[in-house]
Chain A
């Protein structure tokens, strides 16, 4: 009989590490998975809003208006993006997602007056029709990149990097390269698609500036151009994106999701959303362009509180990837036997790369896809976005703000020293911001 009390767990080699070493020994290749970083990193939960009391005046919860609209890209574009809520849907490809999921997200975004975004492989007619405001991603692979689609877009997002894998290229495993996906990307069906991490026709920010000029020329200066970066050397990257001529910057923290990437990339490259956001805002302020060039932040936004805190730190809008899929039932406790067939459970699934999504979101399999009704999915995502908006407004009113953009760092405090240092707000109950004023 083993005395359980005497078993000493190794913190260096816990069971999951042992399992990974043995998996590597079996397979001889890194593990590839979907979703975002699972490790604990300082995040918006480590911040609190202060609310109003004697020194600040709150707005009346149900009576006084608290606006949520935001304009993106008015700097150069004749037709800037006008969003009713500061919450957008992040770039996810048809291919990574099934057509029903793309459609559901488009319909929901349209109902809420916000934008959705294409991904690798180009634009489908279904998503264009479903989405009133559609942002077209311009990616290193240029899979499915067509000028006619560019001209049908409401904004262009040049993807330089992604939070889940700054410096890494895309990947879509053979199971998901079905006939339609293969045709859109001009690839042989069923291959493991690799995509480049560098754009084929520009390298540094000086070239990118000319690339932006070309894209503006092609679209007759009508639509805004965003640059998306993964969070790493954010201060410098934001400054260079500004120099290159971006109208808006999409900043994706390390918690941001992916359809398929190496686990080591997802967990070990890039910095969390919290410090990246602070650095980006500071960089824009230094250039006197904060609020002039919009900042859209993504990577681990889940609740209206996260939205409010991100806006208070200086973001103009947030973007949702994984959370919007969860609204579509990703990781919901249904079809449990199909999660088990993938070797996982609801709540732990990160198996988007397999193409066998139990809830029909990240799959091209008609039988699985039928589990997601686009209209019903759209209703769920709309409800979720409505909830986030209401939560964010509630918090903003409690801080006395008549527009969610009036939230400011002054409204925040941190619960941990790490979060205080990263977000640049005082540790709760003190005036101390680590790293500020020699502190």
Chain B
């Protein structure tokens, strides 16, 4: 177990130590105290380490994560786990805007609310939000799953490509080319698995599914007003 106190060492030193982890190193369990909202904590990891961050983090915590499992006991600032490739970033509190932005893989969990632009430009990541998300979420979402147990704000899934969105509560409004889609048993199965992976319990029968109408994929004059 490595215990790092960010009141004692800098984020730079912490990240360097995490980047220097040799493949197969024993040092897999880390606790990080006193994050105090600092930015870029535990970014660019590429090792199967388990990090436990005790407190609130600033922008981009867990950014571009590969392999590592990062738990934040607190709230997270903007761009939580942006461009995550694999592994897990789990925040027990609320997250600011652009959580999971452009993530390619792995799992991002926000137990509380996430703000606007959650899952923007997502490219394969799975994002599970226990609370609600703000406007413009899943904008241009290309692949992966966004699960929202609470409500979603306006413009959900605007210009969405092939990502899947599941919402348990209300949707403010749908963005261009995003429509409600049929919820089949296979979809319910996927949803149940995602909730289980995230450790969040919910009634899956409440959820509705949203995805792309695929009408903006190739330009058509009749849709010009939606671009």
Contact = CB atoms under 8 A, between A and B. Distances in A.
- Chain A: interface size category: 35 or more
A214 B59 CA distance: 9
B217 A147 contact: no
Interface in A381-398: none
Nearest to B14: A217
Contact of B161 (A150, A187, A213): A187
A214 B78 CA distance: 12
A251 B210 CA distance: 41
B52 interface: no
Contacts of B216: 194
A210 B58 contact: yes
Interface stretch (A92-100, A110-118, A200-208, A239-247): A200-208
Contacts of A28: 221, 224
A126 to B, nearest CB: 21
B218 A201 contact: no
B218 A147 contact: no
Interface stretch (B27-35, B38-46, B181-189, B199-207): B38-46
Interface in B94-111: 97-98, 101-102, 104
Interface stretch (B79-87, B145-153, B166-174): B79-87
A174 interface: yes
A29 B121 contact: no
A196 B161 CA distance: 13
A77 B120 CA distance: 30
Question: Which residue, B11, B117, B217, has most C-beta atoms of chain A within 10 A?
Answer: B217
Interface stretch (A138-146, A266-274, A364-372): A138-146
Interface string B8-21: 00011001100100
A146 B104 contact: yes
A210 B101 contact: no
Interface in A174-193: 174, 185-188, 190-192
A200 B102 contact: yes
- Chain B: interface size category: 35 or more
A201 B123 contact: no
A142 B159 contact: no
Given A186-B142, A202-B78, A147 B60 contact: no
A27 interface: yes
B73 interface: no
Given A196-B121, A200-B117, A207-B78, A218 B217 contact: no
Nearest to A207: B78
A151 B44 CA distance: 9
A104 B65 CA distance: 33
A170 B83 CA distance: 19
Given A142-B102, A196-B121, A214-B59, A29 B142 contact: no
B102 A201 contact: yes
A142 B11 contact: no
A192 B15 CA distance: 40
A220 interface: yes
Given A29-B219, A147-B46, A210-B39, A186 B60 contact: no
Interface string B40-83: 10011010000000000011100110100000000000110011
A218 B64 contact: yes
B133 interface: no
B82 A146 contact: no
A219 interface: yes
Contact of B40 (A174, A200, A213): A213
B5 interface: no
Contacts of A214: 39-40, 43, 59-60, 63, 79
Contacts of B101: 142, 200-201
B160 to A, nearest CB: 12
A386 B19 CA distance: 41
Contact of A174 (B97, B218, B227): B218
Nearest to A195: B140
Nearest to B98: A201
A28 B220 CA distance: 10
Nearest to B123: A186
A174 B117 CA distance: 27
Contacts of A147: 44, 46, 64, 66, 83, 85
A217 B16 CA distance: 8
Interface in A272-304: none
A379 interface: no
Given A200-B102, A201-B98, A210-B78, 14 more contacts: A27-B221, A28-B224, A142-B101, A147-B83, A174-B218, A185-B142, A187-B161, A188-B217, A191-B217, A196-B139, A211-B79, A214-B39, A214-B43, A218-B44
Shortest 5 CB-CB contacts between residues of A and residues of B: A218-B44, A201-B79, A142-B102, A147-B64, A201-B98
